[in-house]
């Protein structure tokens, strides 16, 4: 099918599948002063996409690109994201303590080695592309999209030695950050803020660490290898959250944090913390560092019970209310969502039945979250398919749009 006809067919299908969805919230941003997070009447739409080739506004005078990126650029822009979430891999950017993080480190632009590829200048290139989206929004007299920064990956020189109950195969980049490396973490934040200013892009929203209840991102989770053992990950996370809060305050930008960025685990285990366990184990001061929390929840379908894919958001809300104090009634951001195979993250069959199942499951989630006044925003992960977690909207080759593109398009364009 011709790409234009394919897109039209998907949009028609998506408007039928979604039914009721969320309305956009008005947001504002500035190139010099960060705006506070909005108070939307329904969830705003955001997306995680790190490829600068795809982030440029179609009308911008962007660097020369392959035709596949030009088409993808138009499709991504057509979704009108209110937020762009950028993953900042500290370990890759600063392999040596003796040099600052390289925010212009060249990136090949492939999808984990899968072409098409197109090199760009790392975080600097991504922010330049987002600046073009903000200019395009101003030209349309629309609110500018905002940026959410999510940090992950500990450099080898910054990690604590193995301790507690470390899962087999734990990557060194997941080990907790040494106390004497926290100044370098704060310096990374300062570098990013300075780069944003230089590129004319405010960085109003930050998360201290990606999935701190997941041992692939923060380890160890527990003091000993028992599911009831004392959590350690919450202490390591607290150090990062405090460091980020202090650095953002010192920056004078008015930037805000999203706490959590949690994997949506309803049950804990030897090597991971459940949502309620993580929230309850945090030191008393941490829930008061922000009034917004974030979570990752993907759509599952098939043999899973209908509606079970929505449970983690409700569970996080219950855990926050049970914690009380600053956590009570906190807002929730679903900063990773999406649908692919019946079990999220597994290889796709890309059959018609799978496409329909994915659209249906995602639509149920979006309808549920749209009806929840505490859900502020929902983000798709990602636009271009990540071969390591295939729930994208277009395949890695950028040739095939999946049906969920239409579902998100219907969601993002409802006001």
The model's pLDDT over 240-251, given as tens digits with 9 standing for 90+, comes to 999 999 999 999
- The least confident of 2-16, 148-162, 185-199, 255-269 is 2-16
At residue 21 the predicted structure's pLDDT band, cuts being 50, 70 and 90, is very low
Residue 357, both tokens: 């199942």
Using a pLDDT cut of 90, give the percent of the chain over it.
84
Q: What is the pLDDT of residue 30?
A: 35
pLDDT of 360: 97
Q: What is the pLDDT of residue 157?
A: 98
The pair phi, psi for residue 275, each rounded to 5°, is -55, -50
Which of 2-11, 123-132, 182-191 shows the lowest mean pLDDT across its residues?
A: 2-11
- Give the integer Cα–Cα distance in Å for 239 and 223: 17
Q: Does pTM top 0.85 for this prediction?
A: yes
pLDDT above 60: residue 14: no
Residue 127, pLDDT score: 98
Give me the mean pLDDT over the 174-181 stretch: 98
| pLDDT per residue as tens digits for the range 85-132 | 999 999 999 999 999 999 999 999 999 999 999 999 999 999 999 999
**Per-domain boundaries in the chain:** 3-413
Question: Does the structure show a pLDDT above 60 at 293?
Answer: yes
Structure tokens at 291: 């009034």
Name the band, by pLDDT with cuts 50, 70 and 90, for residue 304: low
> Which residues, in sequence order, are CB contacts of 249 under 8 Å at separation 6+?
none
Q: What is the pLDDT of residue 415?
A: 42
What token pair was written down for 157? 């020189």
**CATH, range 3-413:** 3.20.20.80
Residue 19 pLDDT: 37
């Amino acid at each position: 099918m011709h790409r234009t006809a394919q897109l039209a067919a998907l949009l028609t299908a998506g408007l039928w599948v979604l039914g009721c969805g969320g309305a956009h919230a008005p947001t504002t941003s500035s190139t010099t002063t960060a705006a506070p997070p909005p108070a939307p009447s329904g969830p705003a739409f955001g997306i995680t996409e790190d490829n600068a080739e795809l982030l440029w506004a179609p009308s911008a005078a962007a660097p020369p690109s392959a035709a596949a990126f030009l088409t993808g650029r138009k499709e991504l822009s057509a979704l009108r994201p209110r937020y762009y979430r950028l993953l900042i891999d500290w370990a890759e950017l600063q392999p040596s303590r003796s040099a600052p993080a390289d925010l212009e480190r060249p990136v090949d632009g492939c999808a984990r080695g899968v072409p098409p590829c197109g090199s760009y200048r790392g975080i600097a290139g991504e922010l330049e592309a987002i600046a073009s989206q903000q200019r395009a929004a101003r030209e349309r007299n629309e609110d500018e999209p905002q940026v959410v920064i999510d940090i992950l990956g500990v450099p080898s020189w910054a990690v604590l030695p193995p301790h507690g109950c470390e899962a087999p195969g734990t990557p060194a980049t997941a080990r907790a950050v040494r106390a004497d490396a926290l100044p370098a973490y704060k310096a990374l934040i300062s570098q990013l803020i300075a780069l944003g200013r230089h590129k004319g892009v405010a960085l109003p929203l930050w998360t201290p660490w990606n999935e701190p209840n997941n041992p692939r991102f923060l380890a160890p989770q527990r003091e000993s290898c028992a599911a009831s053992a004392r959590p350690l990950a919450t202490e390591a996370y607290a150090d990062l959250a405090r460091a980020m809060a202090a650095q953002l305050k010192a920056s004078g930008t008015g930037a805000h944090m999203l706490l959590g960025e949690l994997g949506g685990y309803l049950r804990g285990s030897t090597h991971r913390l459940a949502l309620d366990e993580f929230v309850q184990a945090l030191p008393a001061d941490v829930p008061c560092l922000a009034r917004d929390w974030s979570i990752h929840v993907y759509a599952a379908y098939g043999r899973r019970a209908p509606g079970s894919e929505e449970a983690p958001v409700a569970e996080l809300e219950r855990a926050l209310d049970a914690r009380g104090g600053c956590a009570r009634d906190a807002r929730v951001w679903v900063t990773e969502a999406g649908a692919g195979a019946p079990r999220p993250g597994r290889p796709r069959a890309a059959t018609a039945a799978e496409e329909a199942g994915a659209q249906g499951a995602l639509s149920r989630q979006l309808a549920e979250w749209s009806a929840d006044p505490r859900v502020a925003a929902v983000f798709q992960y990602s636009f271009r398919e990540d071969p390591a977690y295939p729930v994208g909207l277009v395949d890695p080759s950028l040739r095939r749009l999946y049906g969920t593109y239409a579902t998100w398009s219907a969601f993002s364009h409802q006001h």
